[in-house]
Amino acid sequence: MKLEKILQMMKSQSIHLPLLLVKNYQDLKLEMKDLLLIGYLLGIESLNYQKIAEDLNLNQEDVLIGINQLQEKGYLELKVIKNSEGTMEETFSLDSLFSKLALSYLEDKNDDEITVFKLFEEELGRTLSSMEYEIINSWIDSGFKEEIIKEALKEAVFNGAKSLRYIDRILFEWNKKGIKTIKDLEKNQEKFHKSKKEEIIIPDYNWLEDNE
């Protein structure tokens, strides 16, 4: 085999890892062997345990253990889908891993403040999906302050509706009313309570005369 062909093969079969993951893998309770497996998985779409073992110079049992450990830590989700040929194949998602990595990064940048993402996970009682991260980020990109997003979450929890669709509706309504800050929200609530009080009409009735 020519040297050029060997070099080309080495370049095309390399493993790539996000630098942020390499810097923070220990915070996620991962080991170097986990990084090796994750780096390989990022370059494929479906699981072939025998090929993974051959390419990483491992035995199949070690690969299965590694996959299982990533699953148990909540970093990897396995799925069975029907491919274009109509046969079933096992695929996977590492979205949860990168969601946790993003959250860890945000927490490092906001040590003294609970990030909006962490607050959502605490209130929902689960890890946010990559789609949910995108939705929350879209609110921030649209100009909603984190304090307002947190208030919308509190409103949804109070009403027993823990869904991002419901929160999105709250933010939409607040935006229509020009509510951009906590102060705007407080003013709107005061106005609402004042209008409610005005609706209570006390009749001009003489109870003493009625008893006669």
Q: Record the pTM.
A: 0.49
What the chain holds in terms of domains, given with CATH numbers, is 3-94 (1.10.10.10), 110-197 (1.10.10.630)
Residue 135 has pLDDT above 70, yes or no: yes
Q: Quick one: what percent of the chain has pLDDT higher than 70? A: 79
Do 73 and 29 form a contact (C-beta atoms < 8 A)?
A: yes
Would you call 57 helix, strand, or coil by DSSP?
A: coil
Average pLDDT, the chain: 81
Cα distance between the two ends of the chain: 117
pLDDT in tens, 149-190: 999 999 999 988 888 999 999 999 999 988 888 888 888 878
Instruction: Give me 187's structure tokens.
Output: 């003013």
Mean pLDDT of the 2-15 span: 57
pLDDT in tens, 67-94: 999 999 999 999 888 877 878 888 899 9
